[in-house]
Amino acid sequence: MSSSGLLFVVSAPSGTGKTTVVEQLVKIVPTLELSRSYTSRAPRANEKDGVDYNFVSRQEFEDRIARGDFLEHADVFGNYYGTGKAETEARLATGRDLILVIDVQGARQVREKRHGVGVFMLPPSFQVLEHRLRNRSQDPEAAIQRRLATARSEVSAVSEYDYVVINDELDRCVAELRGIVLAERARRDRRVDVIAPIVK
């Protein structure tokens, strides 16, 4: 048994509220940390470099791809997003669990390379998703339609994940996700060190 932390991979269509859920989750689950991605997209008004993302230029992102620096990377809505390989492995090696919030293309790449626990988050309905997308952004109609179309194709990837949660109500969804993390930690193969001295 390795003392490496568990890697959780969460995907959800844009507008599902995954960031809020996962930020709440890491506040209440000790030794669970949120990974910080790299992106070539420009920071939004409320975002800080090194906090929300590591913001880099397209050129720097492409240099990092060429060097093989990413565990996974994808083009999402015309911008690059990726997870640093070295920092991910270094953090897991400390024994802490890590959560990646990435799109379905990235999740597939992670699955090909290493063990992870996949969680897909769904909105309660497409009607609710559309309502949330319209409410939260001043995006033009075309951008909203594009996000909805992407969401429709992304949800078809749900069968590739180990767990599904519905974000109908924040606290309930966070609690359900917490339950998944705790259950995964309690798997027998993760507890060999704890079991051995008791069951001699």
Out of 6, 99, 101, 155, the residue judged to bind ligand 5GP by CB under 6 A: 101
Q: Are 170 and 148 in contact (CB under 8 A)?
A: no
Residue (71 or 174) nearer to ligand 5GP, CB: 71
Pairing of strands 54-55, 32-34: unpaired
Residue (2 or 138) nearer to ligand 5GP, CB: 138
Q: How far is CA 57 from CA 60, 78, 101, 175, in A?
A: 5, 13, 21, 37
Q: Is 14 in the site for ligand 5GP (CB under 6 A)?
A: yes
The token pair that represents 5 in the structure block: 């932390």
Out of 76, 157, 164, 166, the residue judged to bind ligand 5GP by CB under 6 A: 76
Determine the interface stretch with ligand 5GP among 77-85, 123-131, 137-145, 177-185 (rule: CB under 6 A).
77-85
Q: How far apart are CA 21 and CA 5, in angstroms?
A: 21
Determine the interface stretch with ligand 5GP among 70-78, 124-132, 177-185, 192-200 (rule: CB under 6 A).
70-78
Element (H, E) at 22: helix 18-28
Q: Is 106 in the site for ligand 5GP (CB under 6 A)?
A: yes
Q: Is 16 in the site for ligand 5GP (CB under 6 A)?
A: no
Q: CA 118 from chain center: how many Å?
A: 9
Q: Is 15 in the site for ligand 5GP (CB under 6 A)?
A: no
